[in-house]
Amino acid sequence: MAQIEVTKLPDAEPRPRQVAIGTFDGVHRGHQAVIEGADTVLTFDPHPLEVLHPAALPKLIMPFGVKRDVIEGLGVGELVVIPFDAEFAKRSAEDFIEHVLIEKLGAERVSVGENFRFGARAKGDPAMLAARAEFATRVVPLVEVDGETVSSTRIRALIAAGDMAGARHCLDAPFMVEGTVVEGDQRGRELGFPTANIVPDDRLAIPGHGVFAAFADGVPAAVNVGVRPTFDSGRGVLIETYLIDRDEDLYGRTLRVAFVERLRGERRFAGVEELIAQMRIDVEDAKQVCASFTGAP
């Protein structure tokens, strides 16, 4: 499959395009409904709130690399990225339609969610797009899962609660984190469970503390998210991934962890023996969960 082409807006060449527009954090089921049938996705990086209201910026569900890959998996050929800054934020909705959608992108069809707003002071809305004759406009209603609207806010809450099945149901895929494997203090190796450790990016959502069954680069894994209460290490939060039946040096590599199910909450153990006994149970539990995982949301 051809790799998705990532183009910064200033570098885009005009051509006939079917464009889906949105921030698309999480690329959840609602976003997928907007993207369906588009050959081009127009998105923003950084997230507009990072520029407009940094204090209101939520934890992002996906780093850009994961978002790009998920959008590619939907069959989209091009990802056009608006480098969002204070200057771009001043552009009027009319200017966005004229100079971005029509002039720069050659949009023949534009697809947005019903709650999409754009332009200075968010004055642009789907009705303004639909009023234009230069392109067809498709306005997609909000999508519901289990009787409740799917939104990035809802998914963030599910992730924070450790509800991986709930998040997966809304995302239509497992929730993923990605990061560079850093040198730990070798404690896992001493205990017989060497882990690949990622220090999570503070701007991104991570699961509530606990032990999870997951896939790390496709390999079944037991993952601990937390601060390791049995050892007063004084460290911040770590994502510690034990790849089951696989021993390789991952230092410096980028690891992508797809969370399947929370096995238990974070606990302090009386001693190392008790911790090791529990880790053996966790690994067995994770192995079983991964073996029975079908990938279905």
Which residues in 83-126 belong to E strands, given as ranges?
A: 107-113
Query: Which is it for the CA torsion 77, 58, 129, 147, positive or negative?
Result: positive
The rounded Cα 275 to chain-centroid distance in angstroms is 32
d(CA 9, CA 132): 21
d(CA 267, CA 226): 10
Please report, for residues 10, 21, 91, 188, the alpha-carbon distance to residue 7 in angstroms, rounded to integers and kept in the order given: 8, 14, 20, 42
Alpha helices in the chain (DSSP H): 29-35, 48-52, 64-73, 86-89, 93-95, 126-130, 152-160, 164-171, 187-190, 272-292
User: Whose CA is closest to 59, among 201, 254, 240, 257?
Assistant: 201
H-run or E-run covering 144: strand 144-145
> With contact defined as beta carbons under 8 Å apart, do 256 and 246 qualify?
no
Return the amino acid letter for 177.
V
Task: Find residue 137's DSSP bridge partners.
Answer: 110
d(CA 132, CA 134): 6
Q: Which of the residues are catalytic? A: 240
